[in-house]
């Protein structure tokens, strides 16, 4: 994560390049010194310690449509505010400044806070991304193609057509939208989840019911609806359409990003839905209809329905899952 005051990138793991550690940043902070000083005079409760740590690490997340020249991890050296290249670094610098203006000390961007040369790191990022957005103090959505603060302009934004931005819309508790000029969509910086007019506008754009836009909880209920939300979106890599849904369904699949085809990816997702649902009947709230709706949507959503469904069935049947042998009949 970036320190929004200094522009320095910190790491919580051992990286190929030597980055300062997040734990070290906390240990040198006034919050840590205050906590340590208190220990000298009184016992500190777990909640006091947890509040001190979580308060120090409040962070903002960037949600955006990738553009040309986005800065990558290996290009971040020293103070990010001082970087001149690549071309996309200006957006990163704006994001860090905006987070700082919102009194948030840390900031995370998917362009340069993931080591894409480390497959294990990529895997971990994919499976924890929903939680990262959910636990953020603020998610800053940058709409590069929106120039006016009106609902007609926002309805045409490419941001609403991308696969990964689906969970970035649903997961955060607080979202601020910003236009192409870096100014807030709302002059008063309001959280869109508190604005019924904006919620209904986005519901019309995305087909997502307003109740989910107000507060979304991951799970396997209404599986057909969740797959429908993704059907209007695109990803650069086809298989990512399945990985985008992991956090939304609240499942984790092993070796999430090693599939070569979208159907292998969907198969892994569905096998986990079946495994988790079948394992916890009836308390999970997953019904036969939910599970069948997953298969039904996949079978009927493509012109090559029978062929694709057959391929998917072969992958899924490699794991013993409830009813998988006849859902394609």
Least reliable range by pLDDT among 32-41, 124-133, 154-163, 174-183: 32-41
Q: What pTM value is reported for the model?
A: 0.82
pLDDT of residue 225: 82
With beta carbons less than 8 A apart as the criterion, state whether 143 and 160 touch.
Answer: no
> Tens of pLDDT along 246-304?
899 888 776 655 545 555 676 677 667 666 655 443 444 445 555 555 555 555 554 44
Retrieve residue 47's tokens: 């909640």
The proportion of the chain whose per-residue pLDDT surpasses 70, expressed as a percent, equals 75
Top-confidence residue, 65 or 264: 65
> Tens of pLDDT along 208-226?
999 999 999 998 777 778 8
Q: Which contacts of 147-154 are long-range, i.e. CB under 8 A and separated by 24 or more positions? A: 147/179, 147/180, 147/181, 148/179, 149/179, 149/185, 149/186, 149/187, 151/197, 151/198, 151/201, 154/185, 154/201, 154/202, 154/205
Domain residue extents for the chain? 58-214, 223-316
Least reliable range by pLDDT among 30-34, 45-49, 124-128: 45-49
Per DSSP, 5 falls in state T
Top-confidence residue, 230 or 271: 230
Residue in the structure block whose two tokens are 């040369």: 117
Retrieve residue 267's tokens: 């198969």
Retrieve residue 8's tokens: 């320095």
Assess whether pLDDT exceeds 70 at residue 76: yes
pLDDT-based confidence at residue 228 (cuts at 50, 70, 90):
confident
């Amino acid at each position: 994560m970036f320190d929004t005051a200094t522009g320095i990138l910190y790491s919580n793991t051992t990286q190929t390049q030597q980055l300062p550690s997040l734990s070290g940043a906390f240990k040198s902070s006034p919050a840590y010194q205050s906590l340590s000083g208190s220990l000298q005079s009184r016992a500190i409760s777990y909640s006091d310690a947890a509040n001190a740590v979580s308060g120090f690490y409040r962070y903002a997340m960037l949600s955006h449509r990738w553009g040309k020249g986005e800065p990558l991890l290996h290009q971040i050296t020293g103070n990010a505010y001082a970087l001149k290249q690549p071309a996309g670094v200006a957006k990163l610098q704006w994001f860090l400044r905006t987070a700082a203006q919102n009194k948030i000390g840390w900031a995370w961007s998917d362009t340069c806070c993931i080591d894409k040369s480390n497959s294990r790191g990529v895997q971990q990022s994919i499976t924890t991304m929903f939680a990262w957005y959910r636990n953020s103090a603020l998610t800053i959505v940058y709409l590069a193609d929106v120039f006016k603060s009106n609902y007609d302009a926002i309805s045409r934004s490419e941001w609403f057509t991308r696969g990964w931005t689906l969970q970035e819309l649903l997961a955060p508790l607080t979202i601020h939208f910003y236009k192409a000029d870096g100014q807030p969509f709302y002059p008063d910086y309001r959280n869109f989840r508190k604005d019924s007019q904006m919620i209904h506008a986005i519901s019309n754009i995305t087909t997502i019911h307003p109740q989910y836009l107000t507060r979304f909880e991951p799970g396997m209920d209404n599986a057909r609806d969740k797959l429908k939300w993704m059907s209007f979106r695109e990803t650069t890599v086809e298989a990512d359409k399945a990985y985008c849904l992991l956090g939304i369904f609240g499942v984790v699949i092993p070796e999430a990003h090693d599939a070569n085809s979208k159907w292998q990816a969907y198969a892994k997702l569905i096998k986990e839905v079946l495994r988790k649902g079948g394992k916890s009947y009836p308390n999970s709230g997953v019904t036969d209809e939910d599970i069948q709706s997953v298969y039904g949507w996949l079978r009927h959503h493509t012109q090559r329905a029978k062929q694709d469904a057959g391929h998917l069935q072969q992958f899924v049947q490699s794991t013993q899952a409830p009813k998988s042998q006849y859902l394609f009949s």
